[in-house]
């Protein structure tokens, strides 16, 4: 790889040090040097990622042609420090899941010259390449249905340090167009915070009602599910005005399409209560997820709304508004 022509060869299973090494990478479990990553969505929030598409296509039809497209993408972003490399693309099954592994190993110009003149040869690779078997970059994807599920994976950079921050940018950001996966808590906090800020930012009462209604239903609707903030908006059919208000509360637009697993308790911690202020001075407050159960709503004409509730008085207090 690098600036040179790309040569490739299909290799079936076999024996020897090279095959043992590749089998270990393919079937190995995650180690402390492996980090979960998520493919980035398109800048507009659309669920499109070119590198992911190439890997999904390779899994569906492993071939030199589909593999060559992946190698071309990597060659186009490899930095000058990385030099020439050997790329292995592995596809198969692990248990009930389909798995794809991409591994890049460094090599020397002499190796490339030999490969270019004679083509890839397993015996030759074992002779000159075995000394660097512990130094590689890799990404592993697995899911029962790759077309739908290949959004997260495990990435490593065994040429770098022990922490994720040492993974080469060209491998993670440029080639994979991915980022370290977000924790459920962090992603859910971002969503809840954006909703809270959006309610303050947009003065339109109709938009406020959309956002507030969606936030009340969220803990029950998204329990245990993975989503993006864009998915949240689409699920509730939020208007463009509501979507843009929420998007504008994010530090960067790409976060609108960042995947995370919804954590109901974290959402409740950030947005525990929902409050409505009435024109007659009344203030209605209830736990966010229970608001529409606690208060029954009856709309009249001219924007007048009647709220009713029923229960025993448990406390009374005087407080600042």
Per-residue confidence (pLDDT) for residue 214, from 0 to 100: 93
Spatial distance between the Cα atoms of 223 and 212, rounded to a whole number of angstroms: 18
Spatial distance between the Cα atoms of 291 and 288, rounded to a whole number of angstroms: 5
CA 253 vs CA 28, 45, 181: distances in Å: 36, 8, 17
- Cβ proximity of 298 and 305 under 8 Å: yes
* Nearest Cα to Cα of residue 202 among 257, 243, 237, 250: 243
DSSP code, position 146:
H
Per-residue confidence (pLDDT) for residue 129, from 0 to 100: 55
Per-residue confidence (pLDDT) for residue 247, from 0 to 100: 95
Per-residue confidence (pLDDT) for residue 114, from 0 to 100: 53
Phi, psi of 39 (to 5 degrees): -65, 140
- Cβ proximity of 65 and 113 under 8 Å: no
Phi, psi of 139 (to 5 degrees): -140, 140
Whole-angstrom distance between the N-terminal and C-terminal Cα of the chain? 66
In the chain, the DSSP E strands lie at: 34-39, 85-94, 97-106, 137-143, 152-157, 178-180, 226-227, 260-261, 273-277, 283-287, 296-299, 305-308
* Nearest Cα to Cα of residue 76 among 18, 6, 145, 146: 6
DSSP helix, strand, coil percent of the chain (3-state; round to 5) = 45, 20, 35
- Cβ proximity of 194 and 268 under 8 Å: no
Per-residue confidence (pLDDT) for residue 119, from 0 to 100: 58
Per-residue confidence (pLDDT) for residue 133, from 0 to 100: 60
Per-residue confidence (pLDDT) for residue 81, from 0 to 100: 63
Per-residue confidence (pLDDT) for residue 207, from 0 to 100: 94
Per-residue confidence (pLDDT) for residue 121, from 0 to 100: 63
pTM score, whole prediction: 0.59
- Residues in the chain predicted with pLDDT less than 50, given as ranges, are 110, 113, 162-164
């Amino acid at each position: 790889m690098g600036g040179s022509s790309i040569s490739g060869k299909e290799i079936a299973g076999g024996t020897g040090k090279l095959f043992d090494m590749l089998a270990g990478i393919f079937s190995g479990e995650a180690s402390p040097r492996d980090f979960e990553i998520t493919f980035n969505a398109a800048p507009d929030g659309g669920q499109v990622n070119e590198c992911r598409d190439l890997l999904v296509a390779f899994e569906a039809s492993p071939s030199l042609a589909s593999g060559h497209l992946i190698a071309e993408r990597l060659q186009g972003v490899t930095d000058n420090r990385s030099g020439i490399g050997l790329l292995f693309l592995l596809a198969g099954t692990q248990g009930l899941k389909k798995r794809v592994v991409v591994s890049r190993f460094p090599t020397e110009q002499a190796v490339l010259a030999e490969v270019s003149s004679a083509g890839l040869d397993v015996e030759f690779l074992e002779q000159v390449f075995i000394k660097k078997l512990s130094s590689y970059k890799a990404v592993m994807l697995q899911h029962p249905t790759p077309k739908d599920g290949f959004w997260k994976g495990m990435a490593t950079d065994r040429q770098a340090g022990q922490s994720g921050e040492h993974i080469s940018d060209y491998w993670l950001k440029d080639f994979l167009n991915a980022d370290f996966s977000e924790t459920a808590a962090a992603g859910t906090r971002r969503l809840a915070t954006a909703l809270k800020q959006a309610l303050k930012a947009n003065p339109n009462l109709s938009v406020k009602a959309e956002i507030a209604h969606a936030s009340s239903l969220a803990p029950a609707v998204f329990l245990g599910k993975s989503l993006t903030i864009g998915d949240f908006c689409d699920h509730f059919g939020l208007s463009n005005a509501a979507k843009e208000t929420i998007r504008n509360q994010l530090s960067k637009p790409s976060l609108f399409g960042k995947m995370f697993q919804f954590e109901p308790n974290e959402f409740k911690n950030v947005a525990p209560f929902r409050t409505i202020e009435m024109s007659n001075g009344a203030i209605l407050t209830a736990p966010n997820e229970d608001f529409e159960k606690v208060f029954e709503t009856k709309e009249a004409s001219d924007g007048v709304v009647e709220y009713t509730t029923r229960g025993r008085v448990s406390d009374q207090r005087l407080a600042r508004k």
